Amino acid sequence: MKKVCMFGLGFVGLPLALSFAMRGCKVTGVDIDVNLVDELNRGITHHFETYQGKTIQEILREELAKGSFKAITDGLKAMEECDNIIVTVGIPVENYKSDITPLIEVCKTVGQGLKKGDLVLIRSTVIPGTTRNIIMPILERESGLKAGKDFYLAYSSERIAEGKAFDEFENMPAALAGIDEESTAKALELMSIVTKAPITQASSMEVVETAKVMENISRDVNIAMVNEFARFAKAMGLDIFEVIKVANTHKRVNLLTPGPGVGGYCLPNAVFYLLPKAEELNVKLDLLLTARRVNEEMPRFVADLVLRNLPVAPNQARIAALGLAMKDFSNDDRISPAHMVIKHLQNAGCTVKAFDPAVPSRYDYKVDTVEEAVKDAHGIVILARQTAIDFMNLDYYYRLMSKEGTPFIVDTKNIYQDDEWVTAKGFKLEKL
């Protein structure tokens, strides 16, 4: 039975910890959030994850009952019982600058608790070179031990999509590299408990760190391209979703789907993990930064679609925003474009009431029912799909909404593919 210590119990750390626990490991999860730790130990989590017909809530309760998982806030105590340490703590970005402080603080704790023979596996998305140039010196200084001699150190990128974490930890090909061959072998042995897909052993940790950042940026760039296409198609009076469907009949074309922007912790931050190293090397990233700007402009574009359909002045308008998550069928609203759309509408003078039953976060404009959001609204803007929102109940929405002018819907998710059906229900439909 391997004993694993998981630092960080968020969207990556918790399902990864439970993935090890389900496969016979004894896992101690560490997080500084006292409320989160308390909830987890009581079997409570708000994540939307499933595995082989079980929800993450069911899995959590089962592993707690078996004694194979527990959560604590004391990292040093956790490390006393474990010899495999995995770090999943993220690097936040504010004002286009990455802040590595949270990761540094965790690594200090890890270093203080490090024992001879321990493996430290970094799974956070980092600025290329971080594991060797920043984390390793911290671990060595705090522990008095030497990497590659007294303890093992490796890096492996995290590639999961929220909502598919258990499946993708198991079946998504992975990549890793250690400070030396022994560290690589130790990390491979640990990861192979969960990951059944091929695991690429790269020549250096820097290769894996850089590949991870580039993977995320490539998706940000591809989304920016279709978001720009959407604006062009809108000006042409074309349905961008139909245009993309036709374009994708080409065997070498695979355009993504446009939306109100790009959210979450990974994609919007990715270029700002690469940028510090690029600036150090005097390498320009013009295309990548332009793509980021295009995606950042989409919430304003969506807000403008709402504003141009108002039957009253903006300061008299009431708007229902349906969906706050950063993507469809998620409870994660970090860096969600929905919040930026709402901010632009509020800045224009509109009153906005938003509904998303999956997102646990509270906001002044968030209400508890779809009825509260839609009642007396002049228009609806759809920003994320959720199973618990019945977007097809237009008769119900129409009865609730204001009749000052024609009620309208701005659909950024291509939910309503039959324009005539929506019009027959009494609405004006505006697509992305």
Whether the pLDDT of residue 264 is over 90: the answer is no
- Whether 212 is catalytic: yes
35 falls in which pLDDT band (50, 70, 90)?
very high
Domains of the chain by range and CATH?
3-204 (3.40.50.720), 294-431 (3.40.50.720)
pLDDT, tens digit, for every residue of 319-337? 999 999 999 999 999 999 9
pLDDT, tens digit, for every residue of 204-240? 999 999 999 999 999 999 999 999 999 999 999 999 9
The answer to whether the CB of 414 falls within 8 A of the CB of 240 is no
Scored b (16 or more CB within 10 A) or e, 362-381 reads: eeebbbeebeebbbebbbbb
- Whether 266 is catalytic: yes
- Residue 187 tokens, joined: 């990390």
Q: What is the pTM of this model?
A: 0.91
Whether the pLDDT of residue 1 is over 80: the answer is no
Could you say which of 5, 25, 82, 266 is catalytic? 266
Could you say which of 26, 70, 212, 327 is catalytic? 212
